[in-house]
Amino acid sequence: MTKKIAIAGDRFMLPQVFQEKLVEACGDGHDIRLLELPWPDVPMEHGYEVAGMDGLKEYLGSADEIVDFIGDAEIFITQLAPLSRAMFERMPGLKFVAVSRGGPVNIDMMAARAAGVTVVNTPGRNSSAVAEFTIGAILAETRLIRSGHESLRKGEWRGELYRADVTGRELSEMTVGVVGYGNIGTKVVRLLRAFGTKVLVCDPYVQLSADDRNAGVEHVSLDTLLSRSDVVTLHPRVSEETRNLMNADAFAKMKPGALFVNTARGPLCDYDALYDALTSGHLGSAMLETFAVEPVPADWPLLQLPNVTLTPHIAGASVRTVTYAAEMAADEVRRYIAGQPPVNPC
């Protein structure tokens, strides 16, 4: 039976890739319509800024634009398009939504359930990309790649970076603490093991895999991890428990001269406390990929520090993330059409 399927992609999760993977999974006999939203060239919005979008986060597109586009479609695939309670009420024919992200923060889930709409997501879609990026972030600081690059750009040949009292350390002689042992954290651990790194893990809700345990990875408390690690890297989900997990007290417990890395989420960290820990000399450096406010204000104090590497929330961006997320979404649609239960229901 032919299904009407609306796909609202963007300039990262391309609608054409969604369509390609959908046809591979479900055949080409369906009525498919495409829309390209302008993210990331246009920033995302948040529900507290727009009437009728209360509770929605990290979305793009107006209610009227998205409702008009979806129309009478039964199936909707997107990464960023919003779906509010009022929007569900205007689309009684919509029955299935696939969101190509780890959490459906752009959808009012209570309203979806009330409307009888099944919502699925794509957990772990960018876990490999973020894990690889995290290793690169650590190496950029520990092996002085950033500082060497910045100096050479200015025409400064810093031969003193070869001095024994200045140069960096290898991962094989360091202890790295990984906070969070989910899809990303487990991959970070696996990559670090390849370097011969001593790895500590803090996650009170999961046990180490037998492979990691047998390789010498230790499951420890947060305090133990902070006090023993040369590098601390964050990978938990944001919750009331983890919000501002890294505060002034936590930074004080870290080893003097340690490196702090956040490629997870901005709300996990008190950035004012981090600034104090860096400027006081207690921490050696930091690598930051996510922030409390995005885009980061041009006058943000941490932008001015010489011992901080920063990137604009791009760790999860890779070509494989696009294709993998589209494959996961397409397979969920295939299962829906076949009358099978979803793999990743929200």
Asked whether the beta carbons of 178 and 186 are under 8 A apart, the reply is no
Cα gap 116→261, rounded to integer Å = 41
- CB-hemisphere CA count at 13 Å for 268? 19
Tell me, yes or no, if 335 is annotated catalytic: no
Say which of 101, 265, 327, 332 is annotated catalytic. 265
Helix count (H) and strand count (E) of the chain? 12, 12
Tell me, yes or no, if 313 is annotated catalytic: yes
Three-state SS at 92: coil
In which residue are the tokens 């996961």 written?
328
Asked whether the beta carbons of 262 and 288 are under 8 A apart, the reply is yes
Cα gap 61→233, rounded to integer Å = 34
Cα gap 215→1, rounded to integer Å = 52
Q: Taking the CB of residue 329, how many other CB atoms lie within 10 A of it?
A: 29
Residues in contact with 13: Cβ distance below 8 Å, sequence separation at least 6, in sequence order:
79, 80, 100, 322, 325, 326
Tell me, yes or no, if 218 is annotated catalytic: no
Asked whether the beta carbons of 258 and 231 are under 8 A apart, the reply is yes
Cα gap 230→255, rounded to integer Å = 7
Asked whether the beta carbons of 197 and 171 are under 8 A apart, the reply is yes
Q: What Å distances lie between residue 30 and 2, 22, 96, 103, 337, CA to CA?
A: 5, 10, 15, 27, 11
Cα gap 22→5, rounded to integer Å = 10
Cα gap 114→189, rounded to integer Å = 40
**Closest C-alpha to 123, from 150, 104, 147, 97:** 104
Say which of 149, 173, 294, 320 is annotated catalytic. 294
Say which of 101, 125, 235, 313 is annotated catalytic. 313
Q: Which helix (H) or strand (E) holds 27?
A: none
Active site residues: 265, 294, 313
